[in-house]
A = this chain, B = another copy of it.
């Protein structure tokens, strides 16, 4: 009994297209064309377009959790882990340059659409926020750990938005460097 891969392929392709083109601007036809499947076939796997979005968000949440877990294995100190987050701007530059931050742009769009899945999408932010806060707590900043987490989060969002607008890689790299330096000198 081989599990049908179609459903996963739809989620995968929808994930990519939602990121590249936005949720509202991506149609069933777009996804179907990429997968060479029939448009009418969607209904067997998903009831509505919103259901696809829901699955995409869940998939992103899961992938993010795995990534954060991987970072904890790869980096032994809290500072090194936080830097993993900051380095995303360099690691994923090719995509960020064209499409911005996957989390920020999705939440922004769903907010404007007044979409029912907005709270679910915002959980992506919360995931990073809690994880960063935990790292700052381990760093010995119990009192303002959440504030620092929000600061790092806001920093990355701002840089991603500007780097996207100006397509300025040097700016992004420079900001990452500055932020890492700030972290190195923080708390001694």
Interface of A is mostly: helix
**C-alpha spacing A136/B156, complex, angstroms:** 23
A112 on the B face (CB < 8 A)? yes
Give the size of the chain A interface in residues (CB under 8 angstroms): 36
Contact residues of A between 122 and 168, Cβ < 8 Å to B? 122, 125, 147, 150-151, 153-159, 161-162, 164-166
> In the assembly, how many copies of this chain are there?
2
From residue A43, how far is it (CB to closest CB) to chain B in Å? 24
A159 to chain B, nearest CB (A): 5
A109-B22, A113-B22, A154-B155 known; A161 vs B162 contact (CB < 8 Å): no
Stretch of A55-63, A66-74, A99-107 with 4 or more beta carbons under 8 angstroms from chain B: A99-107
Encode contact with B along A64-105: 1 for CB under 8 Å, 0 otherwise: 000000000000000000000000000000000011100011
